[in-house]
Amino acid sequence: MSLPVIMPRLASGLAMLAALMLSSAAQAAPTRLVADLSDNRVDITSTYHGTEILLFGAYEGEEGDDIVLVVSGPGADIKQRRKAKKAGIWVNVETVTWQQAPSFYHIFSTRELNEIADGQALQDAEIGASALQLTLTADANTGAGGHHAGQSTGSDDTQKASAGTSEQLANLDRNMANIGLWAHLPSSIKTQQNMLFRTTLALPSNAPTGDYAIRVVHFRDGVAISQRTTDMNIKKAGLSGLIYRFAHDYSVFYGLFAIAFAVASGWLAAVAFRR
């Protein structure tokens, strides 16, 4: 076969192969997803009483797609206590400590989570309290359970950590929601033309300081097909921030200063009243 005949056929075959490869790559590639927020740094001053941040982005969507947005704060050990009435007095009877649980955990979604995907798909996408895979330790004289949650700076490392029960996790979820630090907000994400999405994050006055992760997950037919993560930082600023950093970076000197200040204040008060 002559060269002039082979060349057009070869070019045609290469073109068909290239088109096939591009088509396969397009089918395998995840849809594009971009996300951002109106302010990725929040300064807490003495006049801070909470703030609102706009979370927004764009995605390559189709009719029926869903967006789930998860805001996770820094990890902290969280104590959970159960009280009971003994001899007419309410006392703590059980105490457990959740290890490095999110100190802030808000979930935004276009619909209810169980309408977007089944439990296994949400678990695989690491969405929801049950997907956090938290562990807890129990105090020596306590068992399971808890109805009151509070943050703690540490726990007894000699105790063995174990997975909490669904009831304990539900209690933790409810207690953290009561103080505004955990929340699930269905139908809170607004979408436009299957291209744009937005929602508003309301940070309460008791929002913990530290680094936050903001994860956006794009669902189609109950399957997570794309996700994007961005970050945000909350820190103390101004005089309160200076005192906070000094107390944590130079705790010994801060303690000595606090003692000296208390003694001096007491002495000055005594002198003033003596006159």
What pLDDT sits at residue 6? 41
* Region of residue 135 (phi > 0: left; psi between -120 and 50: alpha; otherwise: beta): beta
Across 57-66, 111-120, 248-257, least confident range: 248-257
CB 33 within 8 A of CB 59: yes
Same domain for 168 and 114, yes or no, is yes
Q: Which of 80, 84, 83, 73 is nearest to 137 (CA)?
A: 80
Compute the distance between CA of residue 166 and CA of residue 176 in angstroms, rounded to an integer: 15
Same domain for 205 and 116, yes or no, is yes
Same domain for 182 and 241, yes or no, is no
Same domain for 189 and 246, yes or no, is no
Across 110-119, 178-187, 224-233, 256-265, least confident range: 256-265
Same domain for 107 and 193, yes or no, is yes
Q: Which of 198, 205, 150 is nearest to 175 (CA)?
A: 150
Same domain for 78 and 186, yes or no, is yes
118 pLDDT tier (thresholds 50, 70, 90): very high
Give tens-digit pLDDT for 182-238: 999 999 999 999 999 999 999 999 999 999 999 999 999 999 999 999 999 999 875
Same domain for 148 and 263, yes or no, is no
Burial of 52-84, coded b for 16+ CB within 10 Å and e otherwise, reads ebebbbebebeeebbbbbbbbbbbbbbbbbbee
Same domain for 216 and 145, yes or no, is yes
167 pLDDT tier (thresholds 50, 70, 90): confident
Look up tokens 């933790």; give the residue: 172
- Residues with Cβ within 8 Å of 270's Cβ and at least 6 positions away in sequence, in order, are none
41 falls within a domain: yes
Stated pTM of the model: 0.70
116 falls within a domain: yes
CB 175 within 8 A of CB 32: no
97 falls within a domain: yes
What pLDDT sits at residue 165? 84
Backbone angles phi, psi at 129, to 5 degrees: -60, -35
Q: N- to C-terminal Cα distance for the chain?
A: 120
Same domain for 242 and 225, yes or no, is no
- Residues with Cβ within 8 Å of 71's Cβ and at least 6 positions away in sequence, in order, are 55, 104, 105, 106, 107, 108, 201, 212, 213, 214, 232
For residue 145, pLDDT beyond 60: no
Backbone angles phi, psi at 70, to 5 degrees: -120, 125
Same domain for 49 and 173, yes or no, is yes
Give tens-digit pLDDT for 20-79: 344 444 444 446 899 999 988 998 887 888 899 999 999 999 999 999 999 999 999 999
Same domain for 186 and 114, yes or no, is yes
Task: State which H helix or E strand residue 213 sits in.
Answer: strand 210-220
Compute the distance between CA of residue 92 and CA of residue 145 in angstroms, rounded to an integer: 11
Kindly state the DSSP code that residue 141 receives in the 8-state scheme. T
6 falls within a domain: no
Q: Which domain holds residue 251?
A: 237-275
What pLDDT sits at residue 162? 82
Tally the domains of the chain: 2
Same domain for 132 and 252, yes or no, is no
What pLDDT sits at residue 84? 78
Q: Which of 40, 67, 62 is nearest to 230 (CA)?
A: 40
